[in-house]
């Protein structure tokens, strides 16, 4: 059998990554970094394209993510450099960085960082412990162990690592809790505030209409656990996956086809679903369903939609059939999230067995993929092929995750089948890479 080791993207060892980043920081900026920070990417078992409708998502943080080495400046300037060979254009200077980032003046990835600085400065008015001093700026060196645009939340991991860096080197909270003390000082409540800051940066500064799944996961996940995130208020529960992960594992198949959420397609899907919400007279689609929805509830909502459309409901010029498909995806995805939430609660209390859980999770993942393909219409040929191939090779479940139009497929596999599954998937494209999706710790000081 061909050696697949080169196809695995490993998260690397945090200590040696930090040491290498520190020495490069010295070379590039001629000074020591004051701190090193890390925020993970995420995989999501279910709950795609519903965070912005107040739905429930079932994510975990990955061991892979973004490292940031940082030192403060006092002239209001941000200097940024990424070590990603595809994005690196040398040190980018952004003067007056706390102002709302002006588009086009710097490479687009830098807006994820300058946007966070801007949003954090705003948040400092409400949370004095996060207040960044007058003229705060920073030198940052960035490297990522995630595929960029791979649907594993590389952008939110950059935002969250940058947020931690700014807090660590510039705020009263960072001054009070040096080094790893800051990781402990970042309570879930504080992390939720930072998640809001990063969401604001992504929505208002970057202009991507995303919904908060990624930032809450990067900042608030827990090692060994699956998160059940209610995006109505971002309250969450965490379930231990240790027992499940003895015989089964999750792996992400990066198709090598990158996506771009700032482009029109993601926004168009969201707008169509929102048009359906308007027809139903609800602010968020989650409000169209009862607290614990059933399939019957989904059918009732679809019937209501059909009746309103037949009576000539205003669709803002959008195609009613397309809006209905987005609606159907959102509603069934919410149903699946509800089922998984209950299933993991049952697993935690010992009511559901491990094999039963794995089987049902697999089935729900497959249904999720079909909905992403047929109703959200965000899948693409290679993702569909990966799903079919890994299922034929013995996976229990597989689905496209993230925003779609490129990105990764999450797979649930019996451990003993992993080699067979990856061998089969690797044949589909030379660009395919694998990542072990091990539920990992959230953003932290390294
Ligand atoms: C991207 C966005 C998230 C979410 C997913 C789709 O990752 O950043 O907010 O909308 O797509 O579920």
Instruction: Determine the 3-state secondary structure of 349 from DSSP.
Output: coil
Domain residues of the chain, as ranges?
14-238, 241-436
What CATH number belongs to 14-238? 3.30.230.10
Residue 333 Cβ inside 6 Å of ligand 1? The answer reads no
Which alpha helices (H) appear in 254-392, and where do they start and end? 264-280, 295-310, 320-348, 354-374, 381-392
Class of domain 241-436: alpha beta
Based on the residue annotation, tell me whether 214 is a catalytic residue of this protein. yes
pLDDT at 2: 66
pLDDT at 260: 65
pLDDT at 366: 98
- Chain centre to alpha carbon of residue 121: 23
pLDDT at 117: 97
pLDDT at 3: 81
| CA distances (Å), origin 251, targets 39, 213, 238, 396, 419 | 19, 19, 20, 12, 11
Residue 253 Cβ inside 6 Å of ligand 1? The answer reads no
**How far does residue 22's CA lie from ligand 1's centre (Å)?**
32
Q: Whose CA is nearest to atom 11 of ligand 1?
A: 403
Q: Whose CA is nearest to atom 12 of ligand 1?
A: 48
Give per-10-residue mean pLDDT for the chain (446 aa): 85 95 98 98 98 98 98 97 95 90 80 97 97 96 95 97 98 96 98 98 92 98 98 97 97 89 82 97 98 97 98 93 98 98 94 95 98 97 98 98 96 98 98 98 98
Residue 151 structure tokens: 């649907």
Residue 214 Cβ inside 6 Å of ligand 1? The answer reads yes
pLDDT at 258: 78
Residue 403 Cβ inside 6 Å of ligand 1? The answer reads yes
Residue 132 Cβ inside 6 Å of ligand 1? The answer reads no
Ligand 1 nearest-atom number relative to CA 49: 12
pLDDT at 105: 75
Ligand 1 nearest-atom number relative to CA 213: 9
Ligand 1 nearest-atom number relative to CA 51: 10
Q: Could you give the CA distance from residue 94 to residue 85 in angstroms, rounded to a whole number?
A: 20
Helical (H) or strand (E) element with 246: helix 244-247
């Amino acid at each position: 059998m061909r050696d697949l080791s080169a196809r695995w993207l490993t998260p690397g060892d945090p200590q040696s990554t930090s040491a290498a980043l520190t020495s490069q920081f010295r070379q590039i900026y001629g000074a020591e970094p004051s701190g090193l920070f890390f925020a993970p990417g995420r995989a999501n078992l279910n709950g795609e394209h519903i965070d912005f409708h107040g739905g429930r998502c079932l994510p975990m943080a990955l061991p892979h993510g973004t490292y940031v080495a940082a030192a403060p400046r006092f002239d209001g300037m941000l200097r940024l450099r990424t070590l990603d060979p595809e994005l690196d254009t040398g040190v980018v200077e952004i003067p007056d960085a706390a102002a709302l980032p002006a588009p086009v003046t710097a490479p687009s990835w830098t807006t994820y960082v300058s946007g966070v600085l801007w949003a954090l400065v705003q948040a400092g008015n409400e949370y004095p412990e996060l207040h960044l001093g007058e003229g705060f700026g920073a030198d940052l060196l960035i490297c990522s162990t995630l595929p960029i645009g791979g649907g594993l939340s590389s952008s939110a991991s950059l935002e969250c690592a940058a947020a931690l860096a700014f807090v660590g080197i510039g705020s009263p909270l960072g001054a009070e809790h040096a080094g790893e003390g800051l990781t402990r000082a970042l309570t879930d409540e504080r992390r939720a505030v930072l998640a809001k800051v990063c969401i604001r940066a992504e929505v208002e500064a970057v202009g991507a209409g995303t919904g908060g799944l990624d930032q809450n996961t990067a900042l608030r996940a827990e090692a060994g656990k699956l998160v059940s995130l209610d995006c109505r208020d971002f309250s969450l529960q965490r379930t231990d996956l240790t027992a499940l992960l003895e015989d089964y594992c999750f792996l992400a198949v990066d198709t090598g086809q990158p996506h771009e959420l700032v482009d029109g397609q993601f926004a168009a899907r969201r707008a169509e679903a929102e048009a359906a919400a308007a027809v139903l007279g609800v602010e968020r689609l989650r409000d169209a369903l009862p607290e614990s929805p059933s399939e019957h509830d989904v059918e009732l909502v679809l019937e209501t939609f059909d009746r309103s459309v037949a009576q000539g409901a205003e669709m803002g010029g959008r195609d009613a059939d397309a809006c209905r498909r987005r609606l159907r995806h959102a509603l069934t995805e919410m149903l699946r999230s509800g089922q998984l939430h209950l299933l993991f609660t049952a697993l935690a209390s010992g009511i559901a067995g491990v094999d039963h859980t794995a089987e049902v999770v697999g089935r729900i993942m497959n249904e999720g993929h079909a909905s992403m393909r047929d109703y959200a219409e965000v899948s693409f040929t290679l993702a569909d092929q990966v799903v079919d191939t890994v299922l034929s090779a013995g996976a229990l479940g597989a689905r496209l995750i993230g925003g779609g139009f490129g990105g990764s497929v999450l797979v649930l596999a019996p451990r003993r089948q992993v080699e067979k599954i990856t061998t089969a998937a690797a044949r589909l494209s030379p660009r395919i890479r694998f990542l072990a999706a091990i539920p990992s710790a959230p953003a932290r000081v390294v």
